[in-house]
Amino acid sequence: MQSRQWMYARCAFVAFAALLLLSIVASGAMSAPYAAYVVDARNGKVLHSRNAETRLHPASLTKMMTLYIAFEAVEQGEISLDTKVTISKKAASEPPSKLGLRPGQKIKLRYLIRAAAVKSANDASTAIGEAISGSEAKFARRMNRTAKAIGMTRTTFKNMHGLTQSGHLSTARDMTLLGRQLLFDYPEYYNLFSRITANAGVQRVNHTNRRFLEAYRGADGIKTGYTRAAGFNLTASAKRRQERIIVTVFGGKSTASRNAKVAELMDLGFRKAPSRLKTQRPSKPAYRGNGTTKGIGTTIRATGAVTASKRPVLRPGTASNTLIPQVEAPVSNEDIALALQAATETSGADQSDANEKAKVIEVSLRPPQKVKRKNPAAVLEAPPKAEPKAATPEVVKRLSTSGGRQWGVNVGRYPDRQAAEKVLVTTALTEIETLQGSLRKVVRKSQGYDANFLGMTRETADLACRRLVARKINCFMIGP
């Protein structure tokens, strides 16, 4: 009898031990591997690394590459922010997080970009990739080609959103490299990653990383990610004084614990980073588009060539009294008419961005004269005066009917209109050969005044920027 009781007790103990072991194994299987990587964004120096080369599930950190390629496609004229994208059945059927798009629905690319960057919407991400490359497979090939060019040596992309898929893997190091590349290659779009909320067309969306952005001083981006296989991932950037740190964490146990770990690593980075350090920009990969042999996507630029920018940023420390002295140019009635045309025909901003629509002054580029210009408002209000006919009149066509002259260049954003006009005139004198015949145009934005030359062919704009950059003058191409 006692032997039988002992046998029952032993069996119960073995069963309990087996259940306990299975529980431990299951718990371990549910916990994603941990990895971390910390760099000084200014030169890419590694400040901390743990399991940084281990290939893991990136989850929605994938969307950083989707957005990088979207910015590239807009910059190169493959697609515009106002292109209306038709939502496919595949995009609409993606699981959450999602914007809730319907098959056949049309929505502007700018809204898809906001939804992917802020809400981490999977349907929006798929729609972006399909709009640019035609299919998920083609876009994935472009993602992998771009990743290789950046130096992401242990990353393989299979989709645009980051949902778990066999072989879709990356590393903490590679995602940190991508975050740094986004910061330097497309600074004009980087503010998307710090928006707490954004208008995504069909709804207003909230940022998936708003807790960290609001809690950590200096944080201004960049992307979260979560799946059961990946755990809680985050690539984050923060700036304090002259220092900027980028941190990537894979395999967090929860949003709160992940954010706490990222904050800890950020603090470590700021302690180790020197106050003064020369910035070493990463090389921008050569543009190859979709790798086709037709269309605009075939233009190839050498690494280190002119960087294009649809939305240039205000130069740090720029003030009107630090610029080259102004050389004034006359404003004719033709210039005024062109300015009024441009003001009524300006496109590219949606209703939510109406407060940023450009208020412009356009001046046809001719050898400048030292003539005191009247107040622009007074000139517009004054009755037009008849102008003498010139032997060879100079005609500047509108950009919309100029036979392909729909490109331009930007030479910076400045704190006031006068400063921007000064730079336009002095730049025109510096590079008169390629800028001759273009329009000088000052565009008012919410963060300053853009100094632009417009009405150029793509080839002329590219050549002008290359020559200006060679003269140590910042320059960005502007597409149609």
Q: Active-site residue 364, yes or no?
A: no
Output the CA angle 197-203-208, nearest 5 degrees.
40
**Distance in angstroms between the alpha carbons of the first and the last residue of the chain:** 93
Adjacent-strand bridge partners of 197: 206
DSSP type of residue 88: P
Q: State the Cα–Cα distance between residues 42 and 45, nearest whole angstrom.
A: 8
C-alpha span between 160 and 173 (Å, rounded): 19
Cα-based distances in Å from 193 to 16, 51, 93, 445: 50, 26, 25, 20
201: nearest Cα among 301, 296, 115: 115
Rounded to whole angstroms, how far apart are CA atoms 474 and 312?
Answer: 10
Q: Are 214 and 196 in contact (CB under 8 A)?
A: yes
Q: How far apart are CA 129 and CA 85, in angstroms?
A: 11
Q: What is the DSSP letter of 11?
A: H
- Cβ atoms of 464 and 409 within 8 Å: the answer is yes
DSSP SS3 for 224: strand
In 136-215, which ranges are continuous DSSP H helix?
136-150, 172-185, 210-215
Residue 72 CA to residue 93 CA, distance in Å, equals: 26
Q: How far is residue 455 from each of residues 36, 377, 407, 432, measured CA to CA in Å?
A: 48, 24, 6, 15
Tell me, what DSSP letter sits at residue 1? Answer: -
Answer yes or no: 253 catalytic.
no
- Whether residue 222 is preceded by a cis peptide bond, meaning omega within 30 degrees of 0, is yes
The question of whether 60 is a catalytic residue gets the answer yes
Residues contacting residue 222 through CB under 8 Å, at least 6 positions apart: 64, 179, 182, 183, 190, 193, 209, 235, 236, 237, 246
88, 120, 125, 170: the catalytic one is 120
Question: Which residues are catalytically annotated?
Answer: 60, 63, 120
